[in-house]
Structure 1
């Protein structure tokens, strides 16, 4: 409205009849503005989507959500709106007809405004780590609660080999950390199953509460409950360097290796990725007659180590 008013005053909109319907569609809020420029009677039209019931819906949702929150043992929540099929159909028709790229669904406006009202009464929504979602169903004006899944950041070591994090990659069928835990693993840094992980690697597990877990050769320690923002930071902070200890058998003397016993040596190799390690080992095998006995990840560097270290110090 302010944008159009400025255009009128700057004489960039001369034909006021061309925006008459826009003024009327804005409803009572535009009536005084309409009468500044037009002498004809001001008519209003019901909103195509909500039939001018959006304020009534917002107030009803607020009252019911406030009553629920007052009786709940938690203030950690987000709001949800379940549109009826007719409203969803109308929204989709508008989006297609006008080829809209940027638009806001009516449900987002309702959530935003009701969230502001609840925040003023001491119940601000928790967008990062909500415990419940309070959903308003437009079709029957009912409110219901959905429990939200809790995501917890852990760090882990893997002291054995050939047990993957996901059973999807198991060579023996359904054997994996996820199947042992009977929990959904949201995210984890990992290595091939033939490699032991002696460094602290992050793993995010859904709806897990234990502080310490020892299972299948995995030692897992709880760090903290996290929200969407922390998950994004952790998942994007890949190691900038990995240090592997490669134990080999060689009849040749390896000057850059640490002799363990007899012809058994430990090589310490810094690389950016496991694929780079494979390339280096392939060159060593062509240069010396070595047999690879085992590979262990012993350290990582980069943002992920700083992030994990910071979280561990704060708990």
Structure 2
């Protein structure tokens, strides 16, 4: 075995921890949770302890550890795993110590959480995710422990509980819905109660705007009129245009807990398409048009576009966004009458088609 092998590194790190802290199998294993895929942290921790136990016994037998008192603290901190070797060398007097991090309650917490969550799901089935709420003291203790000891492969206690309870519930026919949950089952470590927190549902609408001067958000409303105030629901806007621009191509709009199939209100035409999961929502929000085509109606004594009537003209202008459009129009030295968004280009069109089947 090479001096810098992973096994030797893990053993040295674990030994350093057990010299200072009593740790149960799960809490020791969690210090190396990101090493060795497919095993429970309790399995990792017990395997590490057994490996260290063999190494300690070898050192004693090879007379590399002349002072047997040096290994007492480590055996105490190993818990039940170290008791037999302690009895072999010291007889009686083994000290049973509670885990520094979880106070030996982790197995009980997982069992309790699974039982209570199962009861709730059988009574009121729902698409769910799991959550864990640590006490402030336990949260601070765990954070300090991981940072102080430089545990780069550490997994949080909350993550371990969520994963193992979720796996057990899945085996019983209640698999968590990570992407599009209806609610979260949160286990409180202090009260040992499970709280059901309903998630808001995000629905994708496509809208066109034929009116001018009515913004989507009340933040930008001058006269008090706005779409969000009218429908009374939270609106999330992936991208839009100033309120004086009519929008003739369907634009995306995400509305929370709103279920109207079709709505005509204040010049907006809203058409419900689909409910969004987390990944779909993120995909929608991260992809904006890279090019937009506007129809600009303007007045000019010079012929600069398509003549409509006595100096009133229109033209199509392509720009990355409204600000760039204004720069281009400014250079034309004309008087703007109105602006309409006609078409956009970009990856968002394919995403829109995927989510709504609308090209």
Taking structure 2 as the reference length, the TM-score comes to: 0.76
The alignment status of 1:205 with 2:255, answered yes or no, reads: yes
The alignment status of 1:241 with 2:259, answered yes or no, reads: no
1:250/1:20 CA distance change after superposition, 3 Å = closer
The alignment status of 1:184 with 2:184, answered yes or no, reads: no
In the alignment, which residue of structure 2 is the partner of 1:149? Answer: 200
Aligned mates of 1:78, 1:17 — CA distance in 2? 36
**More divergent stretch after superposition (181-190 vs 16-25):** 16-25
The alignment status of 1:260 with 2:313, answered yes or no, reads: no
Which sections of structure 2, spanning at least 5 residues, go unmatched?
26-44, 58-70, 80-96
Aligned mates of 1:8, 1:241 — CA distance in 2? 54
User: Which of residues 322, 325, 336 is equivalent to 1:277?
Assistant: 325
1:210/1:244 CA distance change after superposition, 3 Å = same
In the alignment, which residue of structure 2 is the partner of 1:7? Answer: 8
1:239/1:102 CA distance change after superposition, 3 Å = farther
- How far is the alpha carbon of 1:102 from its aligned partner? 7.0
Q: Is the 8 A contact 1:133 1:147 kept in 2?
A: yes
Aligned mates of 2:15, 2:303 — CA distance in 1? 93
After superposition, residues 1-315 of structure 1 pair within 5 angstroms as 6-7=7-8, 21=19, 25=23, 27=25, 29=46, 30-39=48-57, 42-43=75-76, 44=79, 45-74=97-126, 76-94=127-145, 97-98=148-149, 103-172=154-223, 174-254=224-304, 257-285=305-333, 290-313=334-357
Q: Which has the higher strand share?
A: 1
1:275/1:220 CA distance change after superposition, 3 Å = same
- Calculate the aligned-residue CA RMSD, in Å: 2.9
- How far is the alpha carbon of 1:190 from its aligned partner? 1.0
Q: Is the 8 A contact 1:136 1:144 kept in 2?
A: yes
Aligned mates of 1:208, 1:17 — CA distance in 2? 56
**More divergent stretch after superposition (152-161 vs 80-89):** 80-89
Q: Is the 8 A contact 1:23 1:34 kept in 2?
A: no
For 2:237, what is the secondary structure of its paired residue? strand
- How far is the alpha carbon of 1:88 from its aligned partner? 2.1
Larger Rg: 2
